[in-house]
Amino acid sequence: MDEILDSLLDQDKKNYDEVELLKKEVNNQIRMARLHLQKVGLIRFNPFDRAGGEQSFVIAFLDSQDSGIILNFIYTRDGLRVYTKKVKDGKGEEYDLSEEEKRAVEKSR
């Protein structure tokens, strides 16, 4: 009977240690997931008030803290121009955001 009880107590200790290890790993994964891409916002627009439709667009790629990058694709007769901006806390980090870029950030939320 003592052997069975000791065996059950040993198994319980092993299970407890394993559950604690899994808790730590899950908490670590949750903490790291905050930095992953979680929000995407797309806005189409016409940068030049002329015919041709809304062929230009802005895409915001943000994490849970509203930080990430914005890609701005501007279509012109001469070709396609691509610009990027860093975003921190929903605002331009180095440069102010245009109205379209601000709308893309808002749409991603």
Give the model confidence (pLDDT) of 59-97 as tens digits: 999 998 899 999 999 988 888 999 999 999 999 999 999
Nearest to 60 by CA among 86, 35, 82, 79: 86
pTM here? 0.71
Reported confidence tier of residue 32, pLDDT bands at 50, 70, 90: confident
Beta-carbon contacts of 37 under 8 Å, excluding residues fewer than 6 positions away, are: 61, 62, 63, 68
pLDDT per residue over 36-69, tens digit each? 889 999 999 988 776 567 889 999 999 988 999 9
Helix (H) or strand (E) holding 4: helix 2-33
Mean pLDDT across the chain, nearest whole number?
91
Distance between CA atoms of residues 15 and 31, nearest Å:
24
Amino acid at 28: N
Reported confidence tier of residue 102, pLDDT bands at 50, 70, 90: very high
Secondary structure of residue 22 in the 3-state scheme: helix
Place of tokens 């601000």: 102
Output the pLDDT for position 50: 66
Distance between CA atoms of residues 58 and 41, nearest Å:
8
